[in-house]
Amino acid sequence: MTEKYLIGVDLGSSFTKASIFDTQGNALGDAKRDTHPAQPRPGVAEYDGPRHLTATLGAIKELVDKSGVPSADIAAICFDGMISGTIGIDAAGEATTPYTTTLDMRFAPQLNYVMDNFHDPIREQTGAGQPTFAPKMLWVRDEFPDVYNRTAKFVTITSYIVGKMVGLPGTEAFIDYTYLWATGLSDTQNYVWSEELCRMMDLPLEKLPRIVKSSEIVGGVNQETAEATGMLSGTPIVAGAGDQSAGFVGAGIIRPHRVGDVAGTFPVIALCTDKFRPDMQHKMAEIIPSPIPGLWNPISLELSNIEAVNLARSGEPGNRTYSATSPSFR
């Protein structure tokens, strides 16, 4: 029987990293590309979608070439990526906005508005008080109305990259459910969008992608991607998970009562439970859906991140002066 191999790609805040594994989980090689955001001044941090795609394809190509693994023996490829951000795409799946996370603080007025008016219902339904999608969508709508009108869906960076690699139109864009806690717009316990929260914030459900399981195959590598990476056309691509959620699985935090300490851009203390219980009393813990259905990862952000959120909410002068004619907004 021919040995099969799996490729995992991490779309991180500084680098895109690709690794290849055998089916026993042994890492056999890796490659990476620099994907730091453009930061022309304080409060602005933009990831260019097409540049990110090029970097991802380049890392996969280098990995496939270096590994010596026949492309026919690559069984599937899966992604994890940054959670606290969104990128707009049009009906054809082309980027209409840059990908911005909470490192880009120009959405502070919209974040303040959402937190001041809807924090409790957001926490109760999404499991977390860390909304990103909703205030980012409001920011684009307020500051770049023409771009907002051209945007068919707001998606994660992973959804954008995978959509381009399989040739999904924007109208078929997806989000896997491990990202729902950070949207501010979901009924997370039931893995669906919340019509109530969308109505409260006057955001149309039509601009949100379909929700899929982390394990769902969302398509196969298209011919253009195959030529750019050395992979076979049709190789399955699995939806994957948010980077924190993927890390929890890798660390074995996949059974109730297990606890982990995670270091990174957003360091957290995390545990695993089979109960969805939003923290409505202390409003400190965030409830993240595990890639394993029916399990949840309550997390507590460390102090550095609380300070970052407070800074983002402060609405510092000058954080809304970005020109709508910038090429970053298409």
Does an H or E element contain 52, and which? helix 49-67
DSSP classification of residue 47: B
Cβ atoms 52, 99 nearer than 8 A? yes
Split at pLDDT 50, 70, 90, the class of 301 is confident
Sign of CA dihedral 98, 102, 108, 114: positive
The DSSP bridge pattern shows strands 74-81 and 27-34 to be unpaired
Give one DSSP letter per residue of 245-263, joined into a string: HHHHHHTT--STT-EEEE-
pLDDT beyond 50 at 144? yes
CA 99 – CA 87 distance, rounded (Å): 4
Specify the residue for token string 């707001």: 154
Gyration radius (Cα) of the chain, Å? 19
Give tens-digit pLDDT for 28-56. Answer: 999 999 999 999 999 999 999 999 999 99
Split at pLDDT 50, 70, 90, the class of 74 is very high
Give tens-digit pLDDT for 228-271. Answer: 999 999 999 999 999 999 999 999 999 999 998 887 666 788 99
The structure's pTM equals: 0.90
Tell which wins on pLDDT, 126 or 307: 126
**Lookup: tokens for 122:** 């957001």
pLDDT beyond 80 at 112? yes
pLDDT beyond 90 at 308? no
Give tens-digit pLDDT for 6-19. Answer: 999 999 999 999 99
CA distances (Å), 49 to each of 77, 117, 161, 186, in order? 20, 32, 8, 25
pLDDT beyond 50 at 313? no
- Give the start-end residues of each E strand in 191-249: 192-193, 210-212, 217-220, 236-242
pLDDT beyond 70 at 116? yes
pLDDT beyond 90 at 217? yes
Q: b/e string for 70-94 if b means 16 or more Cβ within 10 A?
A: eeeebebbbbbbbbbbbbbbbeebb
Fold classification of 5-241 (topology level): Nucleotidyltransferase; domain 5 (3.30.420)
Split at pLDDT 50, 70, 90, the class of 305 is very low
CA 103 – CA 46 distance, rounded (Å): 9
- Residue 144 has φ and ψ, to the nearest 5°, of -135, 65
Q: Where are the domains of the chain?
A: 5-241
Q: To 10 degrees, the CA torsion angle through 82, 85, 89, 95? A: -70
CA 208 – CA 192 distance, rounded (Å): 11
- Helix 108-126 and helix 133-143: axis angle, to 10°? 150
Mean pLDDT of the chain: 91
